[in-house]
Chains A and B, each alone.
Chain A
Amino acid sequence: MIKAILVFNNHGKPRMSRFYQHYAEDIQQQIIRETFHLVSKRDDNVCNFLEGGTLIGGSDYKLIYRHYATLYFVFCVDSSESELGILDLIQVFVETLDKCFENVCELDLIFHVDKVHYILAELVMGGMVLETNMTEILTRIEEQNKMEKQEAGIAAAPARAVSAVKDMNIPQKIKDIKLPDLPSIGNLKF
């Protein structure tokens, strides 16, 4: 089981958090802070597994994380999950984000956290891995996007126009998440 999925940036600012077990909001923040503290002091070339913090998990739990440019993706999982499998899942998640946002960067996650949640919901459900096939995930997301557009229809046109105007204020988006090739797990055939 996956207990929590956290995404935060290099300064520990949460960009998305998903807990599959209930914690009060303040505890959630503490967990994010603690996890950030644990993860951020590690070099980039050390292993991606970390025995869990004190607040979340316990001896059976592990933190499995990846660091992409400015973002950390951390999964807190128990021993029923395969460590390398979860690493791969993170990769699938990030690649899916990359496809959905067309070259994803931190700003996308900042402004569209709801969309990130919807994408994640196609991968993981209630703490269990739902789908790992990226094409399948993408089709599902596209179909939902289609529905969204249909529903919005003409009524949303003015809103879209306004938000387009608003968007112009955003400084030039920096597309800086580069997905490194991961030869060691690249040969995982999922």
Chain B
Amino acid sequence: MALKKVKGTLERVLDKNLQDLVRGIRNHKENEAKYIAECIDEIKQELKQENLAIKSNAVNKLTYLQMLGYDISWAAFNIIEVMSSTKFTIKRIGYLSASQCFHDETDVLMLTTNMIRKDLSSQNIYDAGVALSGLSCFITADLARDLANDIMTLMTSSRPYLRKKAVLIMYKVFLQFPEALRPAFPRLKEKLEDADPGVQSAAVNVICELARKNPKNYLSLAPLFFKLMTSSTNNWVLIKIIKLFSALTPLEPRLGKKLIEPLTNLIHSTSAMSLLYECINTVIAVLLSISSGIPNHTASIQLCVQKLRILIEDSDQNLKYLGLLAMSRILATHPKSVQMHKDLILQCLDDKDESIRLRALDLLYGMVSKKNLMEIVKKLMIHMDKAEGSHYRDELLSKIILISSQSNYQFVTNFEWYVSILVELTRMEGTRHGKMIASQMLDVAIRVQAIRQFAVDQMAILLENSHVLANNSQRNGICEVLYAAAWICGEFSECLKDPKSTLEAMLRPKITILPGHIQSVYVQNILKLYGKVVRQAEDDGEEDLLREVNQLMSEKLPIFVSSADLEVQERACCILQLVKYVSKLLDKGAKIGDDIELLYAGELNPVAPKAQRKVPVPEGLDLDKWINQPPPESSDEEIGGPAFFTSGSEHRDTYQYESERKSYEPTAEELEKRREARKVEMEHNPHYLKGDIKKKSKKYDTSHIDDIPVATLDLSVPLHVPDTRDKSKKGKKGKKKKRRKGKETDSEEDLPAMHAVSTVEEMPEGAHLSDNENADEYSSDPFKKLDVNLDEPLRDDEKLPVRQHRLVLEASPDKELDGDTEKTKKKHRKEKEKKKDKKEKKEKKEKRDKKKSKSENKEKDGPTLLLTAAEEETASEANIVNNVENTANSTSPPEEQSDKTNDIEFWLSGSDAATTPSPVKDSRPVVNNVDRTKSPKLTVNDVLSSEEEDGAKVNEEKPKKKKEKRGSKKEKKEKKDKKKKDKLRRHEYEEAEGITTPSKENISMSQQGTPMEVQLPPMSSYKLLAENATLRMTYETRVSPQRSDQIIISVVFNNQTKNHLKDLEFNVLDTLNTKLIRGLGNSHHDAVRVPFILLPESQNEGQFAFSIESISMSQKMRGTLTYIIKSGDGSTHEKLDFKLHLPCSSYLVTTPCKSDEFAELLASGDLPEKGSCKLTPVDTEFPHVLAKMCFHLHFRLIEQVDKSASLFSKSIQGHPVCLLVKMVNGSLNVDGKSSESKLLSGLLDDIKSLLTEES
């Protein structure tokens, strides 16, 4: 065996590893593919071997080859084998490879569930970490469902590293398994206030991603995020939160109002550009969401624009880019503010950086005016000449058209100029925007009557020179303009100076190389021109000309008749016949010109987009009814019609349909095709206006209604634009049948517009206009499923799936195999129970708190003035929150819900609601400043309150800042003070929670045992560990019933200086019984690194685990904390010694026990050890004594009769302890029974010292 191993190792040495592979590839540059093929063969051999190390080496090489583009999915199973290794190094290779090449469709992934689960629950955090990282890349719906619960468990891990990863991966879980969102959300929310900044940041990250898609569900978190925003110093977190707010503000304008102030403050104060930029962005979003109501509205805009200007002027191109980007967002609503910086933006057009030029182009849209349009366009044209790269050039072209045509050609004062520009643009080579230019030409020619003459002239020139354009026959290419030119010349042939020469130009044989749809238009318009020429000739009596034209037509038209394009062919045939007929008639001397012209009589007006869809269905027409009996299915054979019809371009598909109508049942695919074809047709048909027109407003002159049946109106060249200022707003709404529109609100310059733009569009009679045309748009957004209400209480059926075993009736052989799973299952169950417990407790506690505050209110004799005041505040605030909340014991879930909504409402309306602080608060003495641990009474108060909702928090703010502001108006001042107080209060709250959150469980547990009626004297389980001028450490012990050999010491480090403290290292001299767990690979002398830096005057909590052997002795350990103070003038190394005291009571876990069970236990004789003691407590109130014992010593009250009580608890190793406590004349008798004598005596000592010491 050993020999085999050695052999394996030796072989491995000679195997090619990744480095060798890379080297090999580099040495075989000329025949790389061949070399790699050889290597893959080798790898395949290696994968066949038993040895996992060899396999992992092979997989590692495959991962590299994957990067080079080789498909390695064939090795998926081997990858899983490697992932299953027990060695971290090998496992990691497997997971890396899996994360690179596995995806949803990898079927072997279903084999991995149990393996991943095992890794997730591994003792080694890096095993779990690597599994989480891998899983985040290849998680599938099945994996998400099966592992959601395990990941949830990891979210509460004691290791921040795992918590962080678990929180982050939850986002992926939600995407794949949306049902997990609601059950997991409370925990996710909890992590927003995690002690570890990394975990917090991860939670913020996840919620931001979720909220980006469905912001409204996360509105209720706004107060929490607001608090984080005002308290966090982590820029990553801040940026995410601020980004989140910009998604939330459109939903709740009041939120925006609340945000403006802190955001402006941040803008003023931050030095981080990234943060500044995001703040500006969010302020912009806020200003977009609230149109009015903010007094310093313009001030904020000014501030933003100013700061952006600084960014744009910066030499750093990145800032310049972002500045322009943000500027374009302001432009939409506050064009004036941006226009002030026109100079700067125009300057950016000349920047050497294309990205920046593009951004500046975006802004141009708002920069143009009647005065400078020509100038700007000229500049852009110059750029276009110089520009390299068609992308930028195309962008320029479309921008030129966009800025000129915007708001119905508002800024174009001279259409001749514009048409010339369009013509000039056709000289652009390789553009993709031929169609755009064409549609502009059509639009201008149709709608601006005054320009027709000029336009037609220009188009005629274009047609003359068509050979230049026709060369470029690519789709959407510049030849598209010929389409427009031909149509314009044909339709408005009366404006042509020399119709015959244009006709000749259109009949050139070169035309046949143009795309079919352009040829069709050519053919059609040839007929129009022909009619024109004939009529003119007839009028002038020029028979020669007539003959000439006829000959020309009958000579040239046949080139179209033989066209491969059906449409062209058909039209040409028709026209050719017509021409023959006409020439026959002409030979007889008949005058036929007028008749030909009649073919095209009548004005063509643009049809409104969607007009077709709007045609009302006539009464009595049932479109779903069969007209004929549907044909039998057997006749399907006929479907394969002659192939002749199916070839060729798209718009012939309609004919295909005609020919096969008999038994044709179009498939979905064909329908789609047909729809496409229709679209194309519509686009090519000049009778339709294209999509962008719908934005345009219309105007027309009522005095010129003519006799066109659709009641359209034409302008006869009004040279000024009617002043219809008051109606200008309506224009935005879109297509109404008739509307007039003046856009001349721009008072800065009143250059006379030279021509008016007609905006008539045709709509069918009786069409209904509605704006919800897009309502039927179906969207299959994967994020839809994540759109769930998160505030609703969880239903019973909403649980994360826990793996269930099928029931095995007899002890089956596979039980052994399942052992592992069984264990995890149990764990889950416990977990769940615990959760439930916790929830219950929380509810109860809330009840109790409310009651308490009430009674306090009545009695007004609380332990301290401070407490009373605070409680009163709580009560009063709670009262405001839910006006009629007088039954204190009604905390059913639905009410909680209403509470919460009330809460956000309350929070949002904060500034104007009547939350005037009670007078007591103002006169509050400086006691508030006293550190929490020094006055434990304060602490518990904090602790308790922070578990409640925001609205009902105790406030103990320091009226420190208040003095600074003795402003002008009193009212205003009060409001501001209030705000400040709010902030301070929040701040206080924040500080407390570093401690509270983790210890929540502990406190609520121990308090549950105390009688409901008792007013608790405020207590803290945190004890002072050590203190010097710079640092103060307090600690608390935590145990969990699941781990009988471990105790967690949670230490709060409180930095009392104005310097940073870093490199904190915590070390303890181990005793035989108790040892600090130092992580893998560390000897028992190594110090444990505290994973954070302490910011000035801040605190943070670190947890250290100790393994313990026996729980029957109290322990005292010496330890040291070393750290580095980093001050302005350097850093100094310091240390702080401490003594860690672990009394016996720290091994106790509060355990519930019913009174009959308790009696049974006492009677059973399982508790042989007895002990008793007598003492005189300092605090003679019996309930207080009990509460203290329950809280500090982790006991639970079983029964209380007058001045005697029975208490119960259990050690983490399962030793029960029963106590009988009696109070006689101020002295206390304690009798105890337990199974472990040392433990009992230790506990009695603890009780003595607890109750007799002054607290």
Contacts and interface: CB of A to CB of B under 8 A. Distances in A.
B132 to A, nearest CB: 7
Nearest to B212: A80
Given A17-B67, A46-B317, A187-B272, A84 B322 contact: yes
B788 interface: no
A107 B956 CA distance: 59
Interface stretch (A69-77, A96-104, A155-163): A155-163
Given A84-B277, A110-B22, A188-B235, A151 B271 contact: no
Contact of A82 (B18, B71, B274): B274
Interface bin, chain A: 35 or more
Interface string A138-168: 0110011011101110010011001100110
B172 to A, nearest CB: 5
A125 B132 contact: yes
A43 B352 contact: yes
B338 to A, nearest CB: 20
A25 B172 CA distance: 23
Contacts of A45: 317
Interface string A93-128: 000000000000000001111100110010001111
A146 B352 contact: no
A190 B235 contact: yes
Interface string A171-190: 00000000000001101111
A9 interface: no
Interface string B148-176: 00000000000001001100110110000
Nearest to A13: B68
B514 to A, nearest CB: 28
Given A84-B274, A126-B137, A147-B89, A46 B352 contact: yes
Contacts of A58: none
A14 B68 contact: yes
B306 interface: no
Contact of A147 (B71, B235, B1081): B1081
A80 B316 CA distance: 23
A139 B1093 CA distance: 14
Contacts of A114: 18, 60, 63-64, 93, 96
Interface residues of B, number: 85
A159 B168 contact: no
A16 B355 contact: no
Given A82-B274, A163-B19, A184-B316, A47 B355 contact: yes
B70 interface: yes
A158 B236 contact: no
B1094 to A, nearest CB: 14
B210 to A, nearest CB: 11
Interface string A50-89: 1100000000000000000000000000001011110110
B209 interface: yes
Nearest to A16: B67
A64 to B, nearest CB: 9
Interface stretch (B6-14, B376-384, B860-868): B6-14
A4 B390 CA distance: 27
Given A20-B137, A82-B239, A82-B277, A143 B168 contact: no
Most-contacted residue by chain A among B23, B273, B318 (CB, 10 A): B318
B9 A143 contact: no
B419 interface: no
Contact of A155 (B9, B60, B172, B197): B9
Contacts of A189: 235, 271-272
A132 interface: yes
Interface in B351-371: 352-356, 358
Given A82-B243, A126-B136, A130-B202, A148 B89 contact: yes
Nearest to B132: A125
Interface string B343-355: 0000000001111
B281 to A, nearest CB: 9
Given A152-B89, A158-B13, A117 B96 contact: yes
A84 B164 CA distance: 23
A159 B13 contact: yes
A83 B198 contact: no
Given A47-B355, A85-B274, A144-B126, A131 B164 contact: yes
Contacts of A125: 132-133, 136, 165, 168-169
Given A20-B137, A125-B132, A126-B168, A49 B355 contact: yes
A88 B234 CA distance: 14
B390 to A, nearest CB: 13
Contacts of B133: 121, 125-126
A85 to B, nearest CB: 5
B321 interface: yes
Contacts of A169: 23
A124 to B, nearest CB: 9
Contacts of B19: 111-112, 163, 166-167
A104 B87 CA distance: 28
Contacts of A40: none
B659 to A, nearest CB: 39
A139 B272 contact: no
B318 A118 contact: no
B17 interface: yes
Nearest to B138: A22
Nearest to B139: A126
Contacts of B10: 158
B274 A80 contact: no
A82 B136 CA distance: 22
Contact of B355 (A22, A50, A132): A50
A47 B64 contact: no
A80 B271 contact: no
A43 B172 CA distance: 37
Nearest to A28: B69
B277 A46 contact: no
B353 A46 contact: yes
A185 B355 contact: no
A112 B21 CA distance: 11
Contacts of B161: 140
A1 B318 contact: no
B249 to A, nearest CB: 16
B1080 A184 contact: no
B66 interface: yes
A133 interface: yes
Nearest to A170: B23
B70 A25 contact: yes
B443 interface: no
A188 B69 contact: no
Contacts of A110: 22, 26
A147 B1080 contact: yes
Contacts of B234: 190
B67 A130 contact: no
A148 B88 contact: yes
A83 B89 contact: no
Contacts of B318: 47-49, 83-84, 87, 184-185
B564 to A, nearest CB: 32
Contacts of B272: 187-189
B352 A185 contact: no
A127 B202 CA distance: 12
A25 B69 contact: yes
A106 B104 CA distance: 33
Contacts of B212: 80
**3 A-B pairs closest in CB distance:** A126-B136, A84-B274, A22-B103
Given A14-B67, A25-B69, A159-B17, 20 more contacts: A46-B317, A46-B354, A47-B356, A50-B355, A51-B355, A85-B274, A112-B19, A113-B63, A117-B96, A125-B132, A126-B136, A126-B137, A139-B1091, A143-B1081, A155-B9, A169-B23, A185-B274, A189-B235, A189-B271, A190-B236
23 contacts: A25-B71, A26-B69, A42-B354, A43-B353, A47-B320, A48-B318, A51-B358, A84-B274, A110-B26, A113-B67, A114-B63, A121-B96, A121-B130, A125-B133, A127-B136, A128-B202, A128-B205, A140-B161, A143-B1079, A147-B124, A147-B126, A185-B273, A187-B271
